[in-house]
A and B are shown apart, each in its own frame.
Chain A
Amino acid sequence: MPINYYIFVSIALFCIGVVGVLTRRNAIIIFMSIELMLNAVNLLLVAFSKMHAANAGQVYNIGIDGQLFVFFIMVVAAAEVSVGLAIIVMMYRNTHSVDVNFLNRLKH
C-alpha cells in the first residue's frame, strides 16, 4: 500500500479532530476530538515505521522505534484522559454544565 494513502487518511482524521475542537462547545466532545487527533498521528507513525522497515530490507529492528513511540503516546493519552475527565467532572460540579463558553473567565 503506498504511503500516500496513509498520509491522506491521517490528515483527514486529524482535520476532523480539529474541526470538532473548533466547532463543538461540549467539553467532552472536544476531548474526544483530541483523542481522534492523537489516533491520526499514531496511525501515521505506524505507517511510517512500516515504510522504513520496507526500505531497510532484511535489517533487523529498523522501524521498531516508531511503534514504541506509538505505545508511549497511548500511555500518555491514558493518563491525560483520567486527569482531563476529572477536571470535566469538577467543572460540571461547579457550573452544572459542560459548555466551554462558561469558562471564558477563569476566575470565580
Chain B
Amino acid sequence: MLALGSALMVITSKNPVYSVLYLIVAFFAISGHYVLLNAQFLAIVNIIVYAGAIMVLFLFVIMLMNLNANMNLQKNKLLKFAGFIAGLCLFLVLVAALKNADLKNQLALTNKGDIGLIKNLGMVLFNDYVVPFEISSVLFLSAMVGAVVIGKKE
C-alpha cells in the first residue's frame, strides 16, 4: 500500500524532483513485494537498476534542465479532468471484469520456493534463453549509440 500511496504522489506532486523521490519509494515498495514473493534476484535487480541507475538518470536530467525556473506549464482543467475520468473508468472496468474471475483459491506462493534464486534463474537463462540475452546486449549497444547520437550537439 506504500507503493500505491507513493505512486499517487508521483503524479500529483508539483515539483518533478519530489516526483522522482516518491517514485524511488514506490520502487522500493515493489522490491519489498518481490522479496515477499521469494524473487530475491528480481528484488535486487529492481533496486539496482531502477532505484539506482534510472532514477539517478532522471534526477540528473531534471537538475540539468533547472525546471524550477520556468514552471509556466500550460494548464488545461478540462483535459486533466477528462484524463482522470478515463483512468478511473479503466480501473473500474478492469476490476469489474476480474472481480468474478475464477481465481479465488489460487495462491501466490509467499516465503517459499526457490525459483527466484540466482542459481536457478541463471541456469534457465543461459540454457534456454541465450538468444534473447544476446539480442538484448545488441539492443543495449544500439541504445547507447542512439543516446550519444541524439544527445550530441549538432
Which residues of A approach B to under 8 Å, CB–CB?
1-4, 6-9, 11-13, 15-26, 28-29, 31-33, 35-36, 39, 42-43, 46-51, 53-55, 61-65, 67-68, 70-72, 74-83, 85-90, 92, 96-99, 101
Contacts and interface: CB of A to CB of B under 8 A. Distances in A.
A96 to B, nearest CB: 8
Interface of B: 3-4, 7-8, 10-11, 16, 19-20, 23, 26-27, 30, 33-34, 36-39, 41-42, 45-46, 49-50, 53-54, 57-58, 61-62, 64-65, 67, 70, 73-76, 79-80, 82-84, 86-88, 90-91, 94-95, 98, 103-110, 113, 115-116, 120-121, 124-125, 129, 132, 136, 139-140, 143-144, 146-148, 150-151
Contacts of B90: 15, 18
Contact of A54 (B26, B76, B107): B107
B110 A33 contact: no
Chain A facing B: main interface SS: helix
A79 B115 contact: no
Contact of A32 (B23, B125, B136): B23
